[in-house]
Amino acid sequence: MTDNPPRRRRRRKVLELLLGPTGSVIIHVVVILVLVKLVVYKTSGHQAKIEVIIMDPETADLEELKKELEELKEIQIVDAMTPPDISIDTDALEEEVEDFDTPDPSVDFAALDVIDDIQSALVMRGLYKGRSEGGRRDALNKHARKWGQFTEAGVIRALQWLKENQKEDGSWGDSDQAAMTGLGLLTFLAHGETPTSEKFGLTVENAIRWLTENQKEDGNWNSTGSNHVYGQGIATYAVAEAYGLTQIPTLRTAMENGIQVVVSGQQPGGGWDYHYGQSPRRDTSVSGWQIQALKAAYIADPGLPGVKQALRKAVVDLKQAQGSSGRFDYAVSRGDGSIGMTGVGVLCLQLLGEANSDACRRGAKYLAEHKFDLNWDEGGGHSLYGWYYITQAKFHDGKDWKNWNNKFAKVFTEAQNSDGSWTAPGGEAAKGKVYGTTLAALTLQVYYRLLPTYQEKAVEAEEIEEKDDEDLIEVI
């Protein structure tokens, strides 16, 4: 084989190019391309992993949020009071209703010597348990039925009127202030209002303050007016009930002193008369307020001296004041009774644990058979004072309650003035709006003021001595 010089020269030139600058450039370009490819591949894979990590927790959060929203849909809002199904403009009621059980931190109890643990909510048991917010709602639904929303709206407007018309010193009325202030306080207490109430707490506190500051050392009240015995009975009733609901120490002192006046003023036969007189005359109307005061005091403290004995003697007096027809006499003479006095007699016997006695049943029968003309403008031949007692007597008896409720609830709610007050019918109008408003409101609060006695276990007077104190609180 022959050597080919031209071919050898070409090989030499190629090697020189590869090993020279040109070759170096080509090699570097190839290396760079390879590195770029590797870097792009790895970065793309890393980004894919990051995307997966981010999407997983976002999906979990959305699922949790969806679950929470589904749970929220199941929540139902329940009204504090469900009124009966009846067409009525209840705007006024909705504007006035508030949570009355929330304590008001602005109330200063120091001057009243209030104990550290206010027991208002705890002592609303037994005959008073209907006065809590839930108790009022249940009682209205059960006993007022379709009239409940009307009557409660009227009561709340009345409480607002009384609040606005209370004097700066805490009293009500231009005369007979002890009686009017006692009636005013009783109206708030009947609704479960105490010094701890958010809306009416200060009103109640001021009324309590006036009553405790205007009682004499001997237990009598100043400003009781010409009918001192009525003012004394009503004021004592108010402070006794207030003490039973609040346990304020100064109220206990006022109750004890006031009750001793009532007990000392009772006649040997068991009745009471004007000026706590001890003559042969006795008075059913006067006795009614003394008995209510004694009952409230007994509920507050069954151990008060002389109270149990006074209640026992009152039963004897009332039965002797009843005629053969079942009607109760006003004073001592037979034949001077009235439908109003029969309401007093029946209610008091019921409060004394005599609901099942023959006397109480005959009185209730007399009330049921009487044809009432409930006409507010004309007074219907009766008085607001009488209706106050008759309504309670019928409520506690239960037998004629439905018919009476349909009559009196309509008349009372329609007779209320636009400002929330009532003007008593007939000649009672002269007693003023405080008198009319308190008696009307107390009558409309019958549904929850005290439990109806037909739901309690009634006892005869002679059985009282054998009952425990807790039982006595329920029935006497």
Q: Both 50 and 198 in a single domain? A: no
What does the radius of gyration of the chain's CA atoms come to, in whole angstroms? 41
CATH assignment of the domain containing 286: 1.50.10.20
pLDDT by position in tens, the chain (length 476): 555 666 666 666 655 555 566 556 666 666 666 565 554 444 444 443 433 333 333 333 445 434 443 443 343 333 333 333 333 333 333 333 333 233 333 323 233 333 233 333 334 456 678 898 999 999 999 999 899 999 999 999 999 999 999 999 999 998 899 999 999 999 999 999 999 999 999 999 999 999 999 999 999 998 766 678 999 999 999 999 999 999 999 999 999 999 999 999 999 999 999 999 999 999 999 999 999 999 999 999 999 999 999 999 999 999 999 999 999 999 876 667 889 999 999 999 999 999 999 999 999 999 999 887 778 876 555 689 999 999 999 999 999 999 999 999 999 999 999 999 999 998 899 999 999 999 999 999 999 998 776 664 433 333 444 444 444 444 44
Closest by alpha carbon to 332, among 283, 288, 294? Answer: 283
Is 384:433 a contact under the CB 8 Å cutoff? no
**SS3 for 221?**
strand
pLDDT attached to residue 255: 98
**SS3 for 179?**
helix
Please state whether 179 falls in left (phi above 0), alpha (psi between -120 and 50) or beta: alpha
Residues 6+ apart with CB under 8 A from 431: 424
Q: Is residue 90 part of a domain?
A: no
Domain total of the chain: 2
419: which 2 tokens?
């400002």
Domain boundary among 57, 73, 89: 73
Is 304:247 a contact under the CB 8 Å cutoff? no
Q: Both 115 and 249 in a single domain? A: yes
Residues 6+ apart with CB under 8 A from 156: 93, 96, 97
Closest by alpha carbon to 285, among 416, 185, 406, 388? Answer: 388
Distance CA 160, CA 203 (A): 10
Q: Both 141 and 206 in a single domain? A: yes
Domain boundary among 73, 91, 112: 73
Range of the domain at 391: 102-475
Q: Both 121 and 36 in a single domain? A: no
Q: Is residue 407 part of a domain?
A: yes
Residues in the chain: 476
Helices (H) and strands (E) in the chain, counts: 18, 0
**SS3 for 215?**
strand
Q: Both 51 and 181 in a single domain? A: no
Q: Both 344 and 292 in a single domain? A: yes
Secondary-structure percent of the chain, ordered helix, strand, coil, rounded to 5: 65, 0, 35
**SS3 for 427?**
helix
Please state whether 171 falls in left (phi above 0), alpha (psi between -120 and 50) or beta: beta
Is 287:271 a contact under the CB 8 Å cutoff? yes
Q: Is residue 97 part of a domain?
A: no
Q: What one-character DSSP code corresponds to residue 242?
A: H
Is 235:178 a contact under the CB 8 Å cutoff? yes
Q: Is residue 79 part of a domain?
A: no
Q: Both 147 and 244 in a single domain? A: yes
Q: Both 459 and 339 in a single domain? A: yes
Q: Is residue 239 part of a domain?
A: yes
pLDDT attached to residue 341: 95
352: which 2 tokens?
């004394």
Sign for the CA dihedral angle at 397, 353, 151, 98 comes to negative
Q: Is residue 93 part of a domain?
A: no
pLDDT attached to residue 412: 96
376: which 2 tokens?
């507010």
Q: Both 106 and 209 in a single domain? A: yes
Domain boundary among 55, 73, 91: 73
Distance CA 143, CA 155 (A): 16
Residue 400 main-chain phi, psi, to 5 deg: -105, 15
Q: Both 117 and 57 in a single domain? A: no
Amino acid at 59: T
**Residue with tokens 């009103």, as numbered in its chain:** 203
Sign for the CA dihedral angle at 471, 474, 475, 476 comes to positive
Q: Both 63 and 203 in a single domain? A: no
Distance CA 27, CA 22 (A): 9
Residue 140 main-chain phi, psi, to 5 deg: -65, -45
Q: Is residue 85 part of a domain?
A: no
Give the distance from CA 346 to its chain's centroid. Answer: 27
64: which 2 tokens?
């949790």
Q: Is residue 12 part of a domain?
A: yes
Distance CA 389, CA 443 (A): 8
**SS3 for 420?**
coil
Residues 6+ apart with CB under 8 A from 465: none
| pTM for this prediction | 0.72
290: which 2 tokens?
């003394």
Closest by alpha carbon to 66, among 58, 76, 55? Answer: 58
Q: Both 168 and 19 in a single domain? A: no
177: which 2 tokens?
């202030």
Q: Which helix (H) or strand (E) holds 469?
A: helix 469-475
Work out the angle between the directed axes of helices 249-264 and 307-320 (0-180°, nearest 10).
40
